[in-house]
Amino acid sequence: MTVASALLLLVGLQTKHLVADYLIQTPYMFRNKGRYGHPGGLLHAGIHSGLTAALLGMTGAAWLIVFLLAALEFILHYHIDWAKETLTQKQKLTPNVARFWNLHGLDQWLHQLTYVAIVWSLAECWSERVAM
């Protein structure tokens, strides 16, 4: 995997995040992410991992790698969102409180680190494939 293709994939994952988190997320999803196991939160994480799988599939990576990375994103995305929502609800935070935005920023940062880890993992898989 070249640096250019890694950066292009990262931009693709960030664009996917914009779409899934802001453009197509429904009230059913965002209102229920703080309720562990609720279908709304599971659906939201599933949309993220499904779109990630589609992007990774376009790289030519082995389907097992695509599945594992998408599954990992599902688990991480779900729990990052659940933790943020749980803290927001327990502390009764609203958008007019700085702590709300601190948690929102931390949530978004963790999602972006997940995408960096996905690209890094895929790049490592590609370098192992080349080395064989």
Task: Reduce the secondary structure of 81-96 to three states and give it as a string.
Answer: HHHHHHHHHHCCCCCC
Q: Which tens digits make up the pLDDT trace of 46-87?
A: 999 999 999 999 999 999 999 999 999 999 999 999 999 999
**pLDDT mean across residues, the chain:** 94
Burial (Cβ within 10 Å: 0-12, 13-18, ≥19) of residue 45 = buried
CA distances from 17 to 60, 71, 106, 109 (A): 21, 16, 15, 12
Q: Which tens digits make up the pLDDT trace of 119-131?
A: 999 998 877 664 4
